[in-house]
Amino acid sequence: MDHDIAYRTQLATLAQQAQPSVMTYLMCQNTLLRTGVSHILEGTCFVVAAEKSDGHANPDLILLCDSLPEEGAVETIKQVKEQYPGARLVALSDNLDLWAVLELCSAGLDGLCPTGMSPTAMCKVLELVMLGEVFLPISVSLALLDQVSAERPAMRSSAMDPSGLAGKFSDRERQILQRLTTGASNKLIARDLGVAEATVKVHIKAILRKAKAANRTQAAMWATQHLSFDANPREALVG
């Protein structure tokens, strides 16, 4: 039994030793914070090296330990990535705006760890990042999902009407377009809406121009594909 435990312990030790080391730079102005992060990484594959020290190659991983400023954070990320293009970049920061996080990721940030994250979880995140993944806290991920859900109706509308013409029609023009889809004549439309037939003709000219249609039939086909109407045209409001 004791031999079995010793054997397993030896295998675990060898496995840890066989894991390739990751040269890690800590960009941190706070000495106490730097000491704490260095202590967390002790005994892991992340070997903390002095930044720009002689005899060291470029880092594999860079940890930005100081809180990112609201202004200039994107420029900081870009500068670090330009200086060390082959390194993965992770920031330890809290309370970043959703759009600021997206801008940082676009600038080259590979991971964002909340300062309240446990040491074990942070090391797992760093391992994940070194495998080529991008990590964001669950709070940021949920906020992104909420944003996508909120914008989905607008995205769907844009997909149906790439030209954005649907919003350019007045209420009266939409009423007339609705009646054009039923094949109504100008005289019938005028009587239905309580306006002069000449007024209907003026609106139809504007409709053809906005819908880029050659005739009323094409305008009606476009309206059927891109606009939604009341079930009964006679129930439309007269404006």
Q: Are residues 17 and 121 in the same domain?
A: yes
Whether 26 and 137 map to the same domain: the answer is: yes
**In which domain, by residue range, is 208 found?**
166-235
What is the amino acid identity at position 233? P
pLDDT at 155: 47
What one-character DSSP code corresponds to residue 69?
A: P
On the question of pLDDT at 11 being above 60, the answer is: no
Tokens of 94: 């809290």
Q: Which pLDDT score, from 0 to 100, does residue 120 have?
A: 93
User: What is the percentage of the chain residues whose pLDDT exceeds 70?
Assistant: 75
* CATH number for the domain that contains residue 198: 1.10.10.10
Give the H/E segment covering residue 114: none
Query: How many domains does one find in the chain?
Result: 2
Question: Rounded mean pLDDT of the chain?
Answer: 79
Q: What angle do CA 139, 142, 144 make, to 5 degrees?
A: 110
Flag whether 155 is in a domain.
no
What is the pTM (predicted TM-score) of this model? Answer: 0.55
Q: Which residues pair with 112 in a beta bridge?
A: 91
State what percent of residues in the chain have pLDDT above 90.
28
In a domain, 80, yes or no: yes
